[in-house]
């Protein structure tokens, strides 16, 4: 137990907004710093007993979450339902994507105790479905694949029935590293394309669309249930969205998420357009018609938002995988 509770050197990876909330630092007075959202974007400051208890437990275990690090607008809603997305491999990312609020830096080596702590909190929460993600670790020879596998195995051991989605980096296109993750048995293998090819270089500076599609196609060829996500509102044209959805289908992606890009701070890319909810619904119908098995689409949708809606898909797959005559 003492080993489980040992925590790594902590970096405060919470968003700028959350670092202010409930802390001694006074809130910003300059209203021009605040984003102007249309009425359908309702990002409330998180509050509530369950939220604060979960926050305390996450921090006591020295864990990071993308919910806090990426300034997710759904933090209050999700955490009050005990739904969170743990971010493994530390709190510093080796890449510097222009949409993302996770700090860039030189990370520490992976903490060998982290898998056990992740498994501990997920078993306490007794969730039916969870998403785990990571910072990108281009500094590691395997991109963090072995640590991923250790985490998946630790979680599967403590929570055998829970549906586990691994939202990974592109491992610099190293398919052997992808195989290491897949062999640990995540129920869903996810990797986000984030944007359309024309904007990719500006949005995901060190990534490439072709490489991401290759990683997804490889996971699909290995038999995984695959998932990807796009942020909309970065300046892409409607036909570019349709084209990239087709590319994802060609790579065999099963599950798609479409959400509105929200600027975490003035240092990040601007929002070029707020798509109304009806447009998200229209895109969802088009995506389903293209053959995606499940689509979550809406202004506040994130890769992990309402991810438990995919539970049936995974359950059907698990049951199909059982040999006739097995219990």
Residues that bind ligand SF4 (CB under 6 A): 66-67, 72, 74-75, 78, 83-85, 302, 304-305
Helix (H, G, I), strand (E, B) or coil at 251: coil
> What letter would DSSP give residue 137?
-
Nearer to ligand SF4, 87 or 207 (CB): 87
Nearer to ligand SF4, 191 or 302 (CB): 302
* Least separation in angstroms between CB 81 and ligand SF4: 9
User: 142: how many CB neighbours lie within 10 A of its CB?
Assistant: 17
Nearer to ligand SF4, 99 or 305 (CB): 305
How far apart CA 193 and CA 174 sit, in angstroms, is: 16
* Least separation in angstroms between CB 164 and ligand SF4: 14
Give the strand order in the sheet containing 64-65.
64-65, 85-88, 129-134, 163-167, 188-190, 226-232, 255-260, 294-297
To which residue do tokens 């403590």 refer? 158
Contact (CB, 8 A) for 100 and 114 = no
* Least separation in angstroms between CB 130 and ligand SF4: 9
* Least separation in angstroms between CB 211 and ligand SF4: 24
Distances in Å between the Cα of 263 and the Cα atoms of 86, 166, 214 are 21, 25, 28
Helix (H, G, I), strand (E, B) or coil at 106: coil
* Least separation in angstroms between CB 84 and ligand SF4: 5
Nearer to ligand SF4, 140 or 260 (CB): 260
Contact (CB, 8 A) for 260 and 43 = no
* Least separation in angstroms between CB 323 and ligand SF4: 34
Nearer to ligand SF4, 66 or 283 (CB): 66
How far apart CA 214 and CA 247 sit, in angstroms, is: 11
How far apart CA 325 and CA 305 sit, in angstroms, is: 36
* Least separation in angstroms between CB 75 and ligand SF4: 5
* Least separation in angstroms between CB 274 and ligand SF4: 18
Nearer to ligand SF4, 47 or 208 (CB): 47
Nearer to ligand SF4, 213 or 230 (CB): 230
- Helix then strand then coil, % of the chain, to nearest 5: 40, 10, 45
Contact (CB, 8 A) for 197 and 169 = no
How far apart CA 122 and CA 252 sit, in angstroms, is: 30
Contact (CB, 8 A) for 240 and 196 = yes
Q: 295 - beta bridge partners?
A: 256
Nearer to ligand SF4, 75 or 275 (CB): 75
């Amino acid at each position: 137990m003492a080993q489980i509770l040992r925590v790594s050197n902590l970096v405060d990876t919470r968003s700028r907004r959350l670092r202010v909330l409930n802390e001694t630092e006074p809130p910003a007075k300059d209203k021009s710093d605040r984003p102007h959202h249309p009425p359908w974007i309702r990002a409330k400051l998180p509050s509530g007993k369950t939220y604060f208890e979960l926050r305390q437990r996450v921090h006591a275990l020295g864990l990071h979450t993308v919910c806090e690090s990426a300034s997710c607008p759904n933090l209050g809603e999700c955490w009050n339902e005990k739904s969170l997305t743990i971010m493994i491999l530390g709190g510093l990312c080796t890449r510097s994507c222009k949409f993302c609020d996770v700090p860039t830096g030189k990370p520490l080596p992976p903490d060998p105790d982290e898998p056990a702590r992740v498994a501990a909190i997920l078993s306490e929460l007794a969730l039916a479905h969870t998403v785990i993600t990571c910072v990108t670790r281009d500094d590691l020879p395997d991109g963090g694949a072995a640590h991923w596998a250790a985490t998946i195995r630790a979680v599967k051991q403590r929570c055998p029935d829970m549906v586990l989605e691994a939202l990974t980096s592109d491992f610099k296109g190293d398919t052997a590293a992808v195989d290491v993750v897949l062999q640990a048995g995540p129920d869903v293998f996810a990797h986000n394309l984030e944007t359309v090819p024309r904007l990719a270089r500006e949005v995901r500076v060190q990534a490439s669309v072709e490489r991401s599609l290759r990683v997804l196609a490889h996971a699909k060829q290995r038999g995984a249930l695959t998932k990807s996500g796009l942020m909309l509102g970065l300046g892409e044209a409607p036909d570019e969205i349709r084209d990239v959805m087709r590319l994802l289908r060609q790579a065999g992606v099963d599950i798609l998420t479409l959400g509105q890009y929200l600027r975490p701070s003035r240092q990040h890319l601007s929002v070029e357009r707020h798509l109304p909810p009806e447009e998200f619904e229209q895109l969802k119908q088009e995506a389903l018609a293209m053959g995606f098995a499940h689509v979550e689409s809406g202004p506040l949708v994130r890769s992990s938002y309402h991810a438990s809606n995919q539970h049936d898909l995974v359950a059907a797959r698990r049951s199909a995988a059982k040999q006739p005559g097995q219990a």
